[in-house]
């Protein structure tokens, strides 16, 4: 499956992803409705957009007392079935990354569903910080930097080695 990969070093905090997500859901631009949220770390001069990573064994799925959180077999997304959600909020408390929110109009939980396989947040990301990539390839930039560190450590980057 493909997931939304986040590269914090590229994010410029334009919050377009939040606007795109809110608009996709409601037809309006209230970023409080967004499922993706940009987190700010002023001291570290960092900003990190964050959304559901569609965990392999999602605690939200397991704990949902209504059996309303299921994996979409086509996109692999962990989705909430609004018709079966009772609005008990157990999933809000279960998600360790705060990626599930409450729809105050419908009184049910809501979360990223990868827009059915074409996420709006990625489409409207201005800096390339969000990429829609195969799970296995996600965060390869992290591995590259790790690889580089290892190479440096073992002197593999020295010319002639």
Residues near other proteins (CB under 8 A): 8, 37, 39-41, 44, 46, 48, 50, 62-63, 65-67, 83-84, 86-90, 92-98, 100-102, 104, 107
Q: What is the DSSP letter of 159?
A: T
Nearest approach, Cβ of 132 to other proteins (angstroms)?
20
- Using the minimum distance from each CB to other proteins, give the nearer residue, 56 or 160: 56
CB atoms within 10 A of CB 58: 22
Is 92 buried (19+), middle (13-18) or exposed (0-12) by CB count in 10 A? middle
**20/30 Cα distance (integer angstroms):** 10
99 and 52 in contact (C-beta within 8 Å)?
yes
Nearest approach, Cβ of 161 to other proteins (angstroms)?
31
- Using the minimum distance from each CB to other proteins, give the nearer residue, 48 or 133: 48
Query: Pairing relation of β-strands 100-103 and 108-111?
Result: antiparallel
- Using the minimum distance from each CB to other proteins, give the nearer residue, 40 or 154: 40
**151/148 Cα distance (integer angstroms):** 5
Nearest approach, Cβ of 65 to other proteins (angstroms)?
4
Query: Which residues on adjacent β-strands are paired with residue 79?
Result: 70
Nearest approach, Cβ of 96 to other proteins (angstroms)?
5
**119/105 Cα distance (integer angstroms):** 23
- Using the minimum distance from each CB to other proteins, give the nearer residue, 107 or 150: 107
Nearest approach, Cβ of 77 to other proteins (angstroms)?
19
- Using the minimum distance from each CB to other proteins, give the nearer residue, 63 or 150: 63
């Amino acid at each position: 499956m493909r997931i939304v990969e986040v590269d914090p070093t590229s994010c410029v905090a334009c919050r377009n992803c939040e606007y795109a997500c809110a608009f996709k859901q409601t037809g309006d631009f209230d970023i409080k409705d967004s499922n993706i949220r940009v987190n700010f770390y002023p001291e570290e001069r960092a900003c990190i957009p964050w959304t559901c990573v569609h965990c392999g064994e999602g605690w939200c799925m397991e704990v949902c007392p209504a059996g309303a959180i299921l994996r979409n077999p086509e996109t692999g997304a962990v989705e909430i079935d609004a018709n079966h959600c009772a609005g008990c909020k157990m999933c809000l408390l279960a998600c360790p990354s705060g990626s599930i929110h409450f729809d105050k109009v419908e009184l049910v939980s809501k979360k990223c569903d990868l827009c059915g396989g074409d996420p709006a947040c990625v489409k409207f990301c201005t800096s390339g910080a969000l990429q829609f990539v195969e799970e296995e390839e996600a965060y390869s930039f992290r591995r590259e930097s790790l690889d580089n560190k290892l190479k440096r450590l073992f002197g593999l980057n020295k010319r002639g080695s």
